[in-house]
Every structure is written in structure tokens, then in C-alpha cells.
Amino acid sequence: MIIRKDPGVSLKLRYPIVIRVSLLISLLTLIVLVAAFPRFGVKEFIEKEIHIDIEQFDIPQTQQFELPPPPSRPSIPVESESEDFEDDITIEETVFDAFETWDAPPPPEEGPRVKFIPYDDPPVPIGGYSAIQRNIIYPEIAQEAGIEGTVVIQAFVDKKGIVKETIVLKGIPNTGLNEAAITAIKKTRFQPAKQRDRAVGVWISIPVNFRLKG
């Protein structure tokens, strides 16, 4: 009887031996190569691979420029000669009819302030008020222009019946009528005012009429 060997079983038994022999041969071969060619060592190979040449060069210094200082603010504001306005600005027309009319304030009083002095009997021109009219000299400029009217003069008549001060309460300026009325009143003598039978100086208002004859 012939006994045959199984090839599969034989390979399994020889595999570890083959592996060991192959590793041994490879290790011996590597040792021989390193010993024969030392210049091709691992250390030199790594140094050659990582060697990097660094080139040094000088960087020129950057030139810095100094900025000029800002201009100082003016102490006094200066009005601009020209102003730019937007083109779409429109100014509405003013309607004066919408404003209500108002009376102008009265003009300030002229001359000194009048102090009121109480009296029982007022001063009266000697010869009546017609005496003042007789002393009137009608200004030529007013006659030529045909100007007429009434001028009211406030006069101070002292206790002797003499006119000392005058103020124009209502006049016609630039015609000479105010001056003519004052002159006529100053030429007229008065009976002084009485206060308990005693003469006193007081202020009175005297109207002077200017009328052209014919």
C-alpha cells in the first residue's frame, strides 16, 4: 500500500521556515550594502533632503515724510463772499393782503414833561383870545401854498402873566405855522391863574387858527 503526502499540509509546515530564511537573507544583504557604501547612509540622505540655503539681503529703510500741521482756526468768523444755494429752492410770494392793518404808535412827546399845577381860575389873555389872533403873522410860504389849519400850543404862564415856555402839541411842520403861533402867544400878556385868590404859574393849551381871507 502506497501512502501519498498531502501537498497542502506540507506547505503549511514549510511557510514559517521560508519566511524566517527570507528575512535573514534580506537583513544580511542590507548590512553588506551599508558596510560597502557608507556614504549613502540614512543620516547623510536625510541631511541632504532637509538642507535649505537661506540667502540674506538688506531691506532699505522706508523713508517717512512729516505731514504739515493743520491750519489754525480763525479767532474771528469771516463771512463768506459767495454762498451756494440749491437749485430747487423756491421763495413764495408774500401776500400783503393777509396782514391786518394796524395803527402806528403815537409819536413821543416833545419838550419837557409838564407838571400839573391845580388852580381855581385859568389864565386868560388880556383882550381875549382875539388878541392872540391879532399878533399872528401869517408865513408867506404858507400863504403861497394856501395852507390853513389849527396849531395847538401848550404854554406855561407864570404868576405875572408872562409866557415862559411853549410846547407844540399839534402842529403843521415845514410851513412856518408852528413858529408863528408860538411867537403870537409869547407876545400876548395874560391874567395869571388864581388858586384861592393867589396868582400861580400853570400850563394851559392854546389853539391857534390859521385862515386865509377870501
Residue with cell 500741521: 69
pLDDT per residue as tens digits for the range 51-98: 556 666 566 666 666 777 777 776 665 555 555 555 554 545 544 454
pTM across the whole model: 0.47
C-alpha cell at 151: 396849531
- For residue range 1-17, list pLDDT tens digits in order: 454 555 555 666 677 78
pLDDT of residue 94: 43
Residue-wise pLDDT for 122-141, tens only, equals 999 999 989 999 999 999 99
Q: Is the pLDDT of residue 163 over 90?
A: yes
Largest Cα–Cα distance in the chain?
202
Tell me the residue type at 86: E
CA–CA gap between residue 162 and residue 126 (Å, rounded):
11
Overall average pLDDT of the 174-181 stretch: 94
Strands (DSSP E) contained in 22-181 are 124-125, 149-157, 163-170
DSSP element (H, E) containing 199? strand 199-200
